[in-house]
Amino acid sequence: MPEPSELLSTVFGFSEFRPGQEEIVRAVAEGRDTLAIMPTGGGKSLCFQLPALMRDGVTVVISPLIALMRDQVRGLQAAGVAAGALTSGNTEAETEAVHAALRDGRLKILYMAPERLASGGTAAFLKRIGTNLIAVDEAHCVSQWGHDFRPDYLRIGDLRAALGVPVAAFTATADAETRAEIVTRLFAGRAPETFLRGFDRPNIHLAFATKNGPRQQILNFAAARKGQSGIVYCATRAKTETLAAALAREGHSACAYHGGMDPESRRAVEARFQTEDGLIVTATIAFGMGVDKPDIRWVAHADLPKSIEAYYQEIGRAGRDGTRAETLTLFGADDIRLRRAQIDEGLAPHERKAVDHGRLNALLGLAEALSCRRQTLLGYFGEAAGPCGHCDLCDSPPETWDGSVEVQKALSAILRTGESFGAGHLIDILTGTLTDKVRNRGHDALPTFGVGRDVDRKTWTAIFRQMMGHDLVRPDPERHGALRMTGRARPILRGEADITLRKDTLKAASRPAAKALVAEEDAPLLAALKAKRRALAEAARVPAYVVFPDRTLIEMAERRPATLDEMAQVSGVGAKKLDRYGATFLEVITGHAPEPVHPARQKLSGRAEGAVYDRLLEAQASLLRGETGTEKPMSCSAALIARVAALGQPDETALERILGERRAERFGPAFLDVLAAS
């Protein structure tokens, strides 16, 4: 079995694994049932693509969206990996090419949609082609109460049993409940080897803001990042269209995407987003798992997401290449009411609705956080972390105040009204507002009537919102949103604990300054590299990142490689891409075409053997006519020199076997000296 680090370098062009990747790769390659929960952009795909190259037979990847599969296949093929997909989006020629590769035993990775598992002949087909591993991407789709549930994912467990092969399941976010569901449905209840990798994405800057002219807030945020690819998530279809139009009027390249569009229009937007630099898509959550573009530089939420898990997944679409990315999430009282109503009006059982309200509360807690947002977010996923120094609250801590007395008054009002009313009625009681509802229910006679007159209604609204964010109260689905106290509130009610709240201030919408991707002196070169990439991508009709992702171009601009050896050291430049694009991009960097090198030497670019090859070539040049300079000319082919360089250590017997007796007699001692000195 080949070493994973060698394949990582030669095929994918990376010098080292990301944290946690290597042990997952080894577990999958060794055929152990595996469940890996890794952050979006943490390199999940590599954890099944690389083992597929290490193992005999075919690895079948179950993936939820055609666009996602096609992008991954294009990327693999660009790296020289024999991969294909069988989807409803294939042309006849594409399908036949995949089947031909399978018949010839050339295909290593086959992508399939879960819906294909409904066909009765699928298991027999997969057995016939030599399937030896099933990889399940976006494994949380198996959860029946998840927002990405796909019924056909439930068939994967039966397929596993029919084929008798190991399963490797991957997802970016799965709480304990969802993980248990994955184990039950994909692994027949037998616990797989589980890897829970950190949820932190340190390259993503987190920021929230209360709504204050939200359209202008989004326009300002985009203006500070003009020319960078971004996504704006909206709660409604209508808002995606009006916001896209507003962005276009401001000079941005922008388009809308939502589930009400016809399939052809949605595909056109997906294709534009993958291939066009700097496009902004305003979208509902319909623009979701199929987004695998590594160089999305920012994600904004024009409205509050559905839950903390949804928020994590959606911001995770930014900065997949590991380079700096930014986020902004706007929220207001109307958002919270909408999200509560969506939960209450859903078809889930009461227990599930209560859980969903808790998840929304967790997101409100993140929005209302008093200190480092990353600490709060990671804490929800069970990870401890110090202040990140890379979120809006670390940049500028909020003003706070001791809200213990006001929260006690609010909790008292909730209890004295039997936990049967929402925030609006409770605020009427606290502020002493004599409405018909207050009078008819006799709530003007309560001890709490009017005890909060010294606080204005707007502040009380913020207090109740923050109480939900601290998970002190939750709406009760069975009582039409009436607030119920949680166990966390009781110590505050009894005066045993204090609570600090944020001052609910509205600031004028500002234009956040975006940091440049590279230093000022490297910006012109990065622009030139991007222009060359776009031309190559358009000619090949592939997304720009299939040529090279932003992260690779940024490294080129900063390091400015001058030779193919130096180019091969750039992250993301594997052997296939070096061969295809190396000279072209070197010409952009240096201003002239590099000297051509023999293919055998180029394969060694960036490796220690390359330097050995060069020294062997120098040794040969001094001995072309022997030590005296009078003998008949003799030389070794480039392929022979490469084989000698690959020896690594002096080995006289092996050297004679490679060169033959005559060449070994002339060049052997000098070549052995070079190998000994390497």
Task: For residue range 644-658, list pLDDT tens digits in order.
Answer: 888 878 888 888 888
Amino acid at 472: L
Mean pLDDT (whole number) for 550-557: 90
Reported as a pLDDT band with limits 50, 70 and 90, residue 229 is very high
Residue 147 confidence (pLDDT): 62
Residue 513 confidence (pLDDT): 53
10 Å CB burial of residue 398 (0-12, 13-18, 19+) is: middle
Domain 4-196: CATH architecture, name and number where available = 3-Layer(aba) Sandwich (3.40)
Residue 290 confidence (pLDDT): 56
Domain 400-502: CATH architecture, name and number where available = Orthogonal Bundle (1.10)
Task: With a cut of 50, say whether residue 509 has pLDDT above it.
Answer: no
Residue 516 confidence (pLDDT): 64
Residue 599 confidence (pLDDT): 79
Residue 506 confidence (pLDDT): 46
Residue 526 confidence (pLDDT): 86
- 8 A C-beta contact, residue 380 and residue 362: yes
User: How far apart are alpha carbons 96 and 99 in whole angstroms?
Assistant: 5
User: How far apart are alpha carbons 600 and 603 in whole angstroms?
Assistant: 5
Q: Which stretch, 22-31, 622-631, 634-643, 651-660, has highest mean pLDDT?
A: 22-31
| 4-196 and 204-331+369-394 have identical folds | yes
Residue 288 confidence (pLDDT): 64
Query: What six digits make up the tokens of 531?
Result: 């222009």
Residue 23 confidence (pLDDT): 93
Task: With a cut of 60, say whether residue 31 has pLDDT above it.
Answer: yes
User: How far apart are alpha carbons 312 and 308 in whole angstroms?
Assistant: 6
Mean pLDDT (whole number) for 502-515: 55
Task: With a cut of 80, say whether residue 200 has pLDDT above it.
Answer: yes
The whole-model pTM stands at: 0.71
- 8 A C-beta contact, residue 274 and residue 291: no
- 8 A C-beta contact, residue 80 and residue 575: yes
Task: With a cut of 80, say whether residue 495 has pLDDT above it.
Answer: yes
pLDDT tens, residue by residue, 315-363: 988 988 888 899 999 998 788 878 887 887 777 787 888 888 888 888 9
Superfamily of domain 520-595: HRDC domain (1.10.150.80)
Beta-sheet strands, E only, within 95-190: 109-112, 131-136, 167-171
Mean pLDDT (whole number) for 267-284: 87
* pLDDT, mean over the chain: 87
Q: Which of 290-304, 346-360, 428-442 has the lowest mean pLDDT?
A: 346-360
- Three-state DSSP at 485 gives strand
Mean pLDDT (whole number) for 182-186: 90
Region of residue 481 (left: phi > 0; alpha: psi -120 to 50; beta: else): left
The CATH number that domain 204-331+369-394 falls under is 3.40.50.300
pLDDT tens, residue by residue, 66-88: 777 888 898 899 889 999 999 88
DSSP designation for 206: B
Question: What are the sequence ranges of the domains in the chain?
Answer: 4-196, 204-331+369-394, 400-502, 520-595, 608-677
Mean pLDDT (whole number) for 212-225: 93
Mean pLDDT (whole number) for 128-142: 92
Q: Which stretch, 230-244, 261-275, 315-329, 623-637, has highest mean pLDDT?
A: 230-244
Residue 35 confidence (pLDDT): 95
Residue 305 confidence (pLDDT): 92
User: How far apart are alpha carbons 152 and 129 in whole angstroms?
Assistant: 22
> β-pairing, 500-502 with 400-402?
antiparallel
- 8 A C-beta contact, residue 292 and residue 318: no
User: How far apart are alpha carbons 215 and 212 in whole angstroms?
Assistant: 9
- 8 A C-beta contact, residue 585 and residue 574: no
Residue 328 confidence (pLDDT): 96
Task: With a cut of 60, say whether residue 221 has pLDDT above it.
Answer: yes
- 8 A C-beta contact, residue 626 and residue 670: no
- 8 A C-beta contact, residue 327 and residue 298: yes
Q: How far are the Cα atoms of 293, 317, 336, 381, 517 from residue 198, in angstroms, in the given order?
A: 22, 17, 29, 9, 25
